[in-house]
């Protein structure tokens, strides 16, 4: 009996499904689009009011499927039917892009209200009942899907925000400023720190859909924050809250406007003023944590304003159509010019250097190639043009390339260097980079910067300059204090030297004791390292001079002061001699003649000789001063040249050489000298790479030496190793790293299997991220093989945390090795974990301070006063061991070890 009921139930369900399908097919042609009044009512009033005016089926609008220009933000005007041609274009695009579920709506669970139990029997009465239910459903008011997010007591689900984050940037599809989502999140985090309600919601504009949806982005993203408002004064809290609101409101206005909107200029000016206010506000805060957080947000606003303003000015000025040049004709002209240029190279004095610098061999091979490959010619043209316009050329080098042939070469290369730059895409890439600092858009952005930089339009060059200043900034910074330099100056030196001189015909013999010491003084200079290096010396001499029948026994004391001014800038160094000052005191201890035993004659000769001695004493003193000065200067110049040459050789061997091998073109962005410190900022990147874009951590004010390195410097070097798309044995991989970086102390673990081969992913095979007080090392591996077993497509991650104690500091591996891969089985994970655990255990600690510092007496009394990882930066500083910062760092490291 029960079985019969089940069969009848399934039959009734199948019948109901078929009937429903037929009903929908019949009524489909009667389904009409909602009226304009419906949209007004649904946007401004209740849903029920709308549904009474129009029956029909309401389809949820996917924000990724509607053109943005038809739905201005905050616009409640009635919608109109699209033009037929626009509809055709839109339909064609939909066929290329499969529709997705609307992200901005939440489907509520069905309620029992208005639903009746459907009897599962096969009687015709049930069919009639079903048809009646359908009629009542169509006669009832339409229940629209809710466009607002339901919240619960257990917290807000972050799935909607994740869906929004996955959508393409609206700037890619609309002529508007992109929404700075990462900045909004930073502002929400600051609100949470202050104990303020995180009331900002993302108003997502995706492909023409203005979201009347409020998605709280900070509910899941922000956790573990405390209320720090209690440590602020009421005035500071009020000012800080108002500042956050103004920044948020101004950005909200900007992203709702066209890129070239007239009001954008004033709003960008307002944001610039807010960044200036934040600097003063951050300096006045006693809470270091809040001050750092505010400074980071301020710089995030500042760099966006710089780029957005440059783009805004560029769009307002219009883009003149560049003159058309035939690329093939340009290549033929380049081929002819190269012959003339080759004939001029010998007069430069460095023929091979110029040929290598201007890539003449590559140009020759490309111009003779009959195949026209745009990408090859474009890349080569950009490289040569950037070198022809390089800012670091000396005056003599500029004069050489100012010849007409080089100007013509640049003009013809311009035909191959023109590339379209979509400002919408560019601004969208900026925001992607803000959200993910190692995003793949880095290469596209770098290429766009090169194209804009080589443009003939000043406004386009300004866009490149803004991007270059804020997103290709220096990624290595070093500061050395004067007191630390003095610590490592050579100690006082004592030396005994023989005296062998002939002064005014007198043969002088004896010994001198020389005591020398070095001193150093920094000379303020905004564009170079400028140092005054001085030698102070004391000479004590006992000499015996003989001339004719007389012998003089002298003692002298001389004070010598010799100074050199050393100036080092990005183009080289120069040494200026400031002269040598010599002061001396001499005394005649004893005088004898060959006639001292002869009465009268001996006395007479002594008087005459003494008188001559006194007459020539001043001249002899000047001659002695000149000889001492010449000897001092020669010795000082010799020692100085040797030390500078050694330093230059070490720099070339340890840093510049490996970086040049990787085509990273290390460039000095800035050098300066203050009264207390030498400062230098490097950018380690080639023309296809980006660099730093965040504010670096500030070193303690009492630091004697500090260094900050951005993750982009390391990632740029790793990207140039050429690890992708080839199989490596582990031995070959170690040899490759040793050959590039000269890391002779890097030894491969003995117990690693020799039959393991590895092939890295072509994109970002190895990357480093400095985030949340740890360094995260990621390996993206396309294939790993051992014997006949192969494992494909997985990611290895491990993290390192900083530690410091005294003069010891480094990064220590923490936790287990993480293995991620969609196709990995337990059988795959076990050998992977075993292999990579051995690899990382071999380098479980990465030292940041050389062991030689710990054994050098001159470093006694120093300690690490900063080891900080945040916002993509690793910062290390040294101070006196009595510094409060040093004690704080040591205590924090001990607390981490205990935990």
> What is the 3-class SS of 870-899, one letter each residue?
ECCEEEEEEEECCCHHHHHHHHHHHHHHHC
In this predicted model, which residue has the larger pLDDT, 620 or 18? 620
The model's confidence at residue 778, banded by pLDDT at 50, 70 and 90, is very high
Instruction: Give me the pLDDT at residue 509, please.
Output: 84
Report the pLDDT averaged over residues 179-198: 88
Q: Cβ atoms within 10 A of the Cβ of 751, count?
A: 8
Percent of the chain surpassing pLDDT 70: 73
Edge to edge, the sheet with strand 550-569 lists: 493-503, 506-522, 529-547, 550-569, 572-593
Instruction: Give me the pLDDT at residue 775, please.
Output: 93
Is 60 exceeded by the pLDDT of residue 849? yes
Instruction: Give me the pLDDT at residue 208, please.
Output: 33
In this predicted model, which residue has the larger pLDDT, 208 or 475? 475
How confident is the model over 364-397, as pLDDT tens digits? Answer: 888 888 777 888 888 888 888 888 888 778 888 8
In this predicted model, which residue has the larger pLDDT, 666 or 681? 681
Angstrom distance (rounded) from CA 379 to CA 362: 11
How confident is the model over 197-230, as pLDDT tens digits? Answer: 865 444 433 333 333 333 343 333 444 445 566 6
| Cα within 13 Å of Cα(809), Cβ side | 23
The model's confidence at residue 880, banded by pLDDT at 50, 70 and 90, is very high
Instruction: Give me the pLDDT at residue 145, please.
Output: 33
| Global model pTM greater than 0.75 | no
Contact (CB, 8 A) for 787 and 760:
no
Is 60 exceeded by the pLDDT of residue 858? yes
Angstrom distance (rounded) from CA 709 to CA 691: 11
Report the pLDDT averaged over residues 722-740: 80
CA of residue 357 relative to chain centroid, distance: 26
In this predicted model, which residue has the larger pLDDT, 553 or 391? 553
The model's confidence at residue 54, banded by pLDDT at 50, 70 and 90, is very low
Q: Which helix (H) or strand (E) holds 869?
A: strand 862-870
How confident is the model over 14-48, as pLDDT tens digits? Answer: 555 555 444 444 444 343 333 333 333 333 333 33
Is 50 exceeded by the pLDDT of residue 448? yes
Least confident of 1-10, 311-320, 704-713: 1-10
Report the pLDDT averaged over residues 403-427: 86
Is 90 exceeded by the pLDDT of residue 877? yes
In this predicted model, which residue has the larger pLDDT, 314 or 523? 523
Is 70 exceeded by the pLDDT of residue 677? yes
Instruction: Give me the pLDDT at residue 423, please.
Output: 86
Residues in the chain: 899
Q: Is the dihedral of CA 695, 697, 701, 704 positive or negative?
A: negative
Is 60 exceeded by the pLDDT of residue 625? yes
The model's confidence at residue 472, banded by pLDDT at 50, 70 and 90, is very high
Contact (CB, 8 A) for 559 and 538:
yes
Q: Which helix (H) or strand (E) holds 758?
A: strand 756-760
In this predicted model, which residue has the larger pLDDT, 33 or 551? 551
Report the pLDDT averaged over residues 41-70: 33
Report the pLDDT averaged over residues 53-60: 31
The model's confidence at residue 168, banded by pLDDT at 50, 70 and 90, is very low
Bridge partner list, 878: 705, 864
Is 70 exceeded by the pLDDT of residue 185? yes
How confident is the model over 805-820, as pLDDT tens digits? Answer: 888 899 988 877 888 8
In this predicted model, which residue has the larger pLDDT, 589 or 25? 589
Instruction: Give me the pLDDT at residue 98, please.
Output: 31
In this predicted model, which residue has the larger pLDDT, 802 or 81? 802
Angstrom distance (rounded) from CA 296 to CA 106: 35
Least confident of 267-281, 605-619, 743-757: 743-757
Report the pLDDT averaged over residues 84-88: 43
| Cα within 13 Å of Cα(346), Cβ side | 3
User: What is the three-class DSSP state of 563?
Assistant: strand
Closest CA to 715 of 379, 383, 437: 437
The model's confidence at residue 574, banded by pLDDT at 50, 70 and 90, is confident
Provide the b/e sequence for 868-882 (b: ≥16 CB within 10 Å).
bbbbbbbbbbbbebe
Contact (CB, 8 A) for 512 and 497:
yes
Instruction: Give me the pLDDT at residue 437, please.
Output: 87
The model's confidence at residue 749, banded by pLDDT at 50, 70 and 90, is low
Instruction: Give me the pLDDT at residue 480, please.
Output: 93
In this predicted model, which residue has the larger pLDDT, 84 or 332? 332
Angstrom distance (rounded) from CA 890 to CA 804: 6
DSSP H helical segments within 768-898, as ranges?
Answer: 826-841, 851-855, 884-898
């Amino acid at each position: 009996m029960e079985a019969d009921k089940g069969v009848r139930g399934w039959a009734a369900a199948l019948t109901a499904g078929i009937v429903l399908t037929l009903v929908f097919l019949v009524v489909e042609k009667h389904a009409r689009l909602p009226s304009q009044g419906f949209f007004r009512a649904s946007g401004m009033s209740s849903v029920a009011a709308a549904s009474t005016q129009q029956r029909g089926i309401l389809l949820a609008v996917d924000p990724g499927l509607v053109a943005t220009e038809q739905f201005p933000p905050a616009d409640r005007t009635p919608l109109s039917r699209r033009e037929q041609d626009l509809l055709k274009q839109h339909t064609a695009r939909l066929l290329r892009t499969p529709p997705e579920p609307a992200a901005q709506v939440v489907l509520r669970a069905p309620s029992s209200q208005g639903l009746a139990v459907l009897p599962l029997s096969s009687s015709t009465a049930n069919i009639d009942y079903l048809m009646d239910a359908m009629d009542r459903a169509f006669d009832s008011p339409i229940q629209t899907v809710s466009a607002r997010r339901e919240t619960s007591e257990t917290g807000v689900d972050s799935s909607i925000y994740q869906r929004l984050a996955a959508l393409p940037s609206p700037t890619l599809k609309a002529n508007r400023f992109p929404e700075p989502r990462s900045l909004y999140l930073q502002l929400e985090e600051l609100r949470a720190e202050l104990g303020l309600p995180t009331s900002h919601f993302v108003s997502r504009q995706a492909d023409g859909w203005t979201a009347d949806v409020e998605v709280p982005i900070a509910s899941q993203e922000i956790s573990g924050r405390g209320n720090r408002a209690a440590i602020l004064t009421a005035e500071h809290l009020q000012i800080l809250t108002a500042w956050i609101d103004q920044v948020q409101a101004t950005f909200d206005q900007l992203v709702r406007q066209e890129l070239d909107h007239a009001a954008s200029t004033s709003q960008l000016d307002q944001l610039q003023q807010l960044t200036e206010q934040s600097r003063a506000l951050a300096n006045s805060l006693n809470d270091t944590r809040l001050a750092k957080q505010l400074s980071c947000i301020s710089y995030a606003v500042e760099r966006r304003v710089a780029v957005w303003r440059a783009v805004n000015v560029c769009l307002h000025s219009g883009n003149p159509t560049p003159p058309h040049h035939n690329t093939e004709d340009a290549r033929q002209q380049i081929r002819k010019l190269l012959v003339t240029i080759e004939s001029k190279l010998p007069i430069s004095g460095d023929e091979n250097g110029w040929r290598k610098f201007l890539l003449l061999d590559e140009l020759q091979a490309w111009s003779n190639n009959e195949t026209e490959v745009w990408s090859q010619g474009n890349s080569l043209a950009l490289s040569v043009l950037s070198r022809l316009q390089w800012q670091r050329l000396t005056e003599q080098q500029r004069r050489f390339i100012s010849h007409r042939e080089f100007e013509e070469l640049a003009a013809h290369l311009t035909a191959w260097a023109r590339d379209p730059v979509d400002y919408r895409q560019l601004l969208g890439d900026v925001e992607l980079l803000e959200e993910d600092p190692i995003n793949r858009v880095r290469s596209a952005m770098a290429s766009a910067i090169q194209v804009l930089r080589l443009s003939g339009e000043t406004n386009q060059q300004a866009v490149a300059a803004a991007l270059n200043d804020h997103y290709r900034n220096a990624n290595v910074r070093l500061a050395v204090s004067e007191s630390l330099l003095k610590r490592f100056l050579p100690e006082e030196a004592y030396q005994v030297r023989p005296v062998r001189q002939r002064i005014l015909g007198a043969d002088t013999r004896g010994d001198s004791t020389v005591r020398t010491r070095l001193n150093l003084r920094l000379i303020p200079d905004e564009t170079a390292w400028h140092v005054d290096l001085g030698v102070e010396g004391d000479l004590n001499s006992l000499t015996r001079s003989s001339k004719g029948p007389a012998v003089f026994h002298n003692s002298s004391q001389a004070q010598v002061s010799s100074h050199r001014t050393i100036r080092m800038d990005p183009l080289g160094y120069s040494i200026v001699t400031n002269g040598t000052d010599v002061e001396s005191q001499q005394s005649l201890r004893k005088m004898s003649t060959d006639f001292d035993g002869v009465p009268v004659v001996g006395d007479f000769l002594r008087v005459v000789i003494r008188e001559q001695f006194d007459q020539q004493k001043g001249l002899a003193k000047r001659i002695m001063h000149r000889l001492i000065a010449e000897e001092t200067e020669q010795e000082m110049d010799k020692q100085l040249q040797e030390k500078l040459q050694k330093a230059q050789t070490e720099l070339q061997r340890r840093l510049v050489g490996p970086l040049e091998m990787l085509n990273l073109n290390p460039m000095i962005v800035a050098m300066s000298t203050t009264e207390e410190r030498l400062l230098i900022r490097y950018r380690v990147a080639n023309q296809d790479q980006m660099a730093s874009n965040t504010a670096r951590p500030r070193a303690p004010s009492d630091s004697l030496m500090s260094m900050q390195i951005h993750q982009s410097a390391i990632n740029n070097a790793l990207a140039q190793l050429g690890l992708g798309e080839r199989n490596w044995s582990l031995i070959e991989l170690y040899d490759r790293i040793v050959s590039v970086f000269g890391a002779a102390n890097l030894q491969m673990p003995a117990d690693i299997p020799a039959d393991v081969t590895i092939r890295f992913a072509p994109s970002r095979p190895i990357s480093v991220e400095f985030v949340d007080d740890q360094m995260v090392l990621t390996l993206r591996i396309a294939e790993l093989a051992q014997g006949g077993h192969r494992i494909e497509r997985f990611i290895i991650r491990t993290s390192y945390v900083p530690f410091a104690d005294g003069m010891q500091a480094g990064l220590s591996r923490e936790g287990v090795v993480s293995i991620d891969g969609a196709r990995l089985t337990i059988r795959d994970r076990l050998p992977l974990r075993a292999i990579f655990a051995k690899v990382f255990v071999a380098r479980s600690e990465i030292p940041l301070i050389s062991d030689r510092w710990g054994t050098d007496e001159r470093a006694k009394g120093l300690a690490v006063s900063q080891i900080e990882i945040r916002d993509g930066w690793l910062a290390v500083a040294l101070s006196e061991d009595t510094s409060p910062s040093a004690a704080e760092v040591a205590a924090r490291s001990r607390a981490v070890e205990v935990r």
